[in-house]
Structure 1
């Protein structure tokens, strides 16, 4: 649903990089039951444009898994982005919105055979892999396709490391590419992933160095790669500062110039969180406020199971910028709260010791910023509580839907 509201002004002292279009005064005008997730498409366009400008010559393939709502996909498609899929379901969603499968990358290293066959039949021709078994699968179900190898790289400086599950060791990468050629596949490229929400620009430099080593060795076997895919991991701002995309891009560009034996025809990246996280605010209503063993508890109508699962996935918890509907929030005395969801599961608790106004009561709204990534895509209706309603503002010419 796209909504249009006028007459708002920016609320001062908002935390983080809160979209100016989604100030608390603006959100107060939205007459939709909570929970809802409202996305500013103008902010999305701005972030995509800034990402592209920072990495000239790098083609953007948006990671569908992060947030696949039609409005986001259509907006990015209109502005020239490609897409990265992890399943035939994601590819089918792109097709329904008019995206040519030939413009997509299928980067999931381990895929269901039926998905490979269906994607190939639809016209997708580039498949990621990291193992001999996956190569044989692709050769059988998508013969003649172009394949790109996912390298295992150091992702220890990211919030969500991914290398334990996926990635081929550099020591075996050369033989895998030769196997691809023997199987009648086209050794097309190399990719890596420095881990989700990576705040260390040097991680990309180290990964590019590994890719360069592989490219150099493959050249001795007559294999010249057409693509270097920088993967994802580009961070978004939540509460703590992160490097700017310009800072990260500076390291990447330097590494491309210094560490590769040649420049592949296609340079690609798969941002997800970086593009969409800061575009959206989750709105939720206070259902209850209690004191338990001297601790202030705030019960709200969205929880981990229907939108905030990332708060459960790190040892230290995942912090989001928070604000409330209280008109003088910035001047209110604050106390620490434990913020928990609506379900009967006691582990459905998202925030511990967060500072919020002491005057919060049942019926007040809690606004959760930087909520555009991995919220709707993770959400379920556990315990009968519905996922947040997606709302959209901005992107001139989109109209009301």
Structure 2
């Protein structure tokens, strides 16, 4: 069976681009590929520990479930946010303890709840009455986290339409949990991905404080705050992670301080569910121009159409489901690049579906068949969602290790 993962020793190369060039020269089957920079993931983890030291990351497996990435994150001591039986089993198979997993799917399959109980995964989220009845029947010893809605109006990918309880329903849900003898231990939220207004964290963390106190009055031992995910993973994000961290830390100090007014430790465990933060910038995709044609538009302008060996049914599904924008760079030296004419261009994927368009109507240096394009920041919701529609292979992964 042909493997889709290779490893290279990064110390043999000076840059990720060197690895790409080397593999382009040896890529005789014209297959797209990623280069995965594990050092970038390590850098992100160390940045997290410095910038948000009170918040333990539980990596969102759904964002990128590459086994090499998951094993590396496990070795760094992260927790994991799982949403299904398969994800739970995958993480447990890495030797991760059940206590380092949160089953963060508010609406769960019955058999999955039973499986979580069987393997000792007890921490799980909920947001409605019917889910509480289900959990009471199938996993009564679970430790539950109530997911509430936060303001996701400033986020590119919104979640309130699918998950989260309105704040006014918190009392009834917590009361029902008490009547069902269920143990609610905390509260969570998710303001959506790529939020461009991180000040919304202050309001939703204040709401969490209200729910915490409400739960305590109803007899629940509230000890966990889960601030969700959606943190930026691109180094050139409009709102850098550092700014998110400053606002979150300030809100935590106000509403969930480490020490109360009497000088006692509050003993609240704060976690988050970062996905794209860890992996987006670690993956760089290389795709080749397999065909080209020029079409004259109604206004007389020529549009240069390039057909790539990867598209929206593969790595670029993020342009549809994540509203991402592909950012291509030609794999050309600077001297050659300046010789090229700038053309109105459109990038198409390889399939026979007209929806398979990577990027439309932008100006770009003219390309030739057989040349390669490089796309940075391709680690989030790309390879894990890719298909083989129309018989086109998924991009292979080349893991760049630094052995020193």
Q: TM-score, with normalisation over the residues of structure 2?
A: 0.90
Change (3 A) 1:184 1:384: same
Contact 1:51 1:245 in 2 (8 A): no
Alignment of 1:224-303 (within 5 A): 224-237=221-234, 241-260=237-256, 263=266, 265-292=268-295, 293=297, 294-303=302-311
CA distance in 1, matches of 2:159, 2:403: 37
Residue range with higher mean Cα deviation, 215-224 or 85-94: 215-224
Count of matched residue pairs: 381
CA distance in 2, matches of 1:350, 1:131: 39
Change (3 A) 1:6 1:256: closer
Contact 2:303 2:343 in 1 (8 A): no
The one of 345, 352, 357 equivalent to 1:344 is: 352
The equivalent of 1:393 in structure 2 is 400
The equivalent of 2:263 in structure 1 is none
Residue range with higher mean Cα deviation, 196-205 or 54-63: 196-205
Question: Deviation at 1:221?
Answer: 2.5
Question: Deviation at 1:4?
Answer: 2.5
Residue range with higher mean Cα deviation, 214-223 or 227-236: 214-223
Offset from partner CA, 1:258-291 (integer Å, 9 cap, x none): 2348655210010000110000111111011111
Question: Deviation at 1:182?
Answer: 2.0
SS at match of 2:403: coil
The answer to whether structure 1 residue 106 and structure 2 residue 111 are counterparts is no
Contact 1:237 1:278 in 2 (8 A): yes
Q: TM-score, with normalisation over the residues of structure 1?
A: 0.90
Change (3 A) 1:39 1:318: same
Change (3 A) 1:46 1:363: same
CA distance in 2, matches of 1:98, 1:307: 29
The equivalent of 1:362 in structure 2 is 369
Offset from partner CA, 1:67-110 (integer Å, 9 cap, x none): 01111011111111110001001111112222222310000111
Gaps of 5+ in 2: 1-5, 261-265
The answer to whether structure 1 residue 22 and structure 2 residue 16 are counterparts is yes
The one of 322, 330, 334 equivalent to 2:328 is: 322
RMSD value, Cα: 1.9
Contact 1:58 1:268 in 2 (8 A): yes
CA distance in 2, matches of 1:355, 1:369: 18
Contact 2:343 2:364 in 1 (8 A): yes
The equivalent of 1:334 in structure 2 is 342
CA distance in 2, matches of 1:182, 1:333: 72
The equivalent of 2:64 in structure 1 is 67
The equivalent of 1:191 in structure 2 is 188
Question: Deviation at 1:198?
Answer: 1.5
The equivalent of 2:3 in structure 1 is none
Offset from partner CA, 1:199-237 (integer Å, 9 cap, x none): 221121121011112122233333341100010010122
Larger Rg: 2
Residue range with higher mean Cα deviation, 33-42 or 76-85: 33-42
Contact 2:11 2:402 in 1 (8 A): no
